[in-house]
Amino acid sequence: MTTEKETIEVPAKFKKLVEEIEQMSAIDLSELVKILEEKFGVSSAAPMMMGPMPGVTQSAAPEEEEKSVFNVELNQVGEKKIEVIKLVRDLTGKGLKEAKDLVDAAAAGPQMIKENVKKEEAEEIKKKMTEAGATVELK
């Protein structure tokens, strides 16, 4: 069985940089992406196609379609920090240190807990985090 790392050939000029990035924690990677996005004015988000789909007519007043997939973002931890860390650990499958680092980083700015989750799961996560005293936003 091959892993994704084995199938991607890294040019020699980027080998050292890629090796350093592989050693970074998820929080550090997230921070690096934000810095690169700001510095170079780019986005790591997948580009969205614009324009109407063939065969689809648009009405004069387009109705806003309801989102079915959300990203769950931790904005504030609240007073029950340990409970929030436990929840983040359970929800993400991260280790204790990574979960704690993510929760600590939320003090400086919003942190993504989970991406591309169905509406029901996102609302359940928000409910649990709110009960633990955290402030969560669904995007």
Cα–Cα distance, 135 to 127 (Å, whole number): 10
Per-residue pLDDT, 77: 87
Fold (topology level) of 69-138? Ribosomal Protein L30; Chain: A, (3.30.1390)
Contact 117, 69 (CB under 8 A): yes
Per-residue pLDDT, 1: 46
Per-residue pLDDT, 54: 57
Identity (one letter) of the amino acid at 60?
A: A
pTM above 0.75, yes or no: no
Tokens coding 104: 């600590």
Per-residue pLDDT, 79: 87
Q: Which residues pair with 135 in a beta bridge?
A: 76
What are the domain boundaries of the chain?
A: 11-40, 69-138
Query: Alpha-carbon torsion 85, 90, 95, 101, what sign?
Result: negative
Residue-level pLDDT, tens digit, the chain, 139 residues: 445 545 678 888 888 888 888 888 888 888 888 888 888 777 766 555 555 555 555 554 455 567 788 888 988 888 888 998 898 898 888 889 998 998 899 888 888 888 888 888 888 988 988 888 888 888 8
Strands (E), the chain: 69-76, 111-118, 135-138
Cα–Cα distance, 16 to 23 (Å, whole number): 11
Tokens coding 22: 């592989």
Strand, helix or coil at 9? coil
